[in-house]
Amino acid sequence: MQINPEYLQKFIADSLLEDIGEGDHSSLACIPAEAKGVAKLLIKEDGILCGVDVAAKVFKYLEPECEITVHMQDGAQVKVGDVAFTLTAKVHTILSGERLALNCMQRMSGIATQTHRIQKKITHTRSVVLDTRKTTPGIRQLEKYAVFCGGGQNHRMGLYDMIMLKDNHIDYAGGIEAGINRVRQYLNDKKLKLAIEVEARNLDEVKQILSVEPLVDRIMLDNFIPEDIRLALELIANKAETEASGGITSDNIVDYAETGVDFISVGALTHSVKGLDMSLKAKISEN
């Protein structure tokens, strides 16, 4: 996955406007406008690095001529004391962009680190960790990119790039068969080619989904215990992709992965993650 350049540029512009407003008065008041400085991004906690390019673009937005030397790329395993990049720029640039760059990198690295730790637990299985739409509004692309850097896979980006019939869709549509048939007709009328995933709340609903032809692309087994997932997989018999979802954490994910399910979606990758500790250490250049 790559972050859309236009989206990133707008995000940086809006975020800097929010932070700087009419001016960074702290820096303007005590630092000469032409003073040059050097800063290094110092890692203070072991984990997976993410957001280096985002941080670089923050500083380049403020000062296109600034110099950034990248020492470690996104997806790299980092340890305490590592330096991710070195920045040479006007001191005003360093101080005005510092918080936005750190906010992005700390959160993105935290997500990448958590994803890596969870995915590592199930490398002996066929299952792959997926993210969800439980992301921070406005920075979904950054957070999903971080999941990718951590070794997970991205689910749909939004409501527009995949059909997913969840419990409320099914209830409002009048049932599984009615919902799937309406989706097929809608896609045909709109000449759209989108994958279809349908959520099952129990084994009976798995059977209902399997009875509708042509078969959907993926069946989500929501809030199933591992034993019931095994039973569901026997019914599905590899005729469709399978996904386990609901209440799955780093503590129980191995039990779910060892069922043989294809995908495991974990909302906690993005909705409740701790940022990775790092700081931007700056000093005045001698030049």
Phi then psi dihedrals of residue 21, to 5 deg: 60, -125
- Output the DSSP codes for 144-165: HHHHHHTT-B---SSTTSSEEE
Catalytic residue among 74, 131, 205, 222: 222
99 given a catalytic annotation: yes
Catalytic residue among 166, 184, 207, 230: 166
Question: Looking at residue 284, what is its pLDDT?
Answer: 60
Question: Looking at residue 37, what is its pLDDT?
Answer: 95
Q: Which residues of the chain have pLDDT under 70?
A: 284-287
Question: Looking at residue 92, what is its pLDDT?
Answer: 96
Percent of the chain, pLDDT > 90? 97
Question: Looking at residue 283, what is its pLDDT?
Answer: 73
Catalytic residue among 99, 133, 182, 184: 99
3-state SS of the chain: helix, strand, coil percent to 5?
Answer: 45, 20, 35
207 given a catalytic annotation: no
d(CA 195, CA 202): 22
**Domain 162-266, second-level architecture:** Alpha-Beta Barrel (3.20)
166 given a catalytic annotation: yes
Query: Which distant-in-sequence residues (6+ apart) come within 8 Å of 209 by Cβ?
Result: 176, 180, 198, 200, 215, 216, 219
40 given a catalytic annotation: no
- How many CB atoms within 10 Å of residue 216? 23
* pLDDT tens digits, 189-210: 999 999 999 999 999 999 999 9
* pLDDT tens digits, 43-87: 999 999 999 999 999 999 999 999 999 999 999 999 999 999 999
Domain range list for the chain: 5-119+274-284, 162-266
117 given a catalytic annotation: no
Q: What is the CATH number of domain 5-119+274-284?
A: 3.90.1170.20
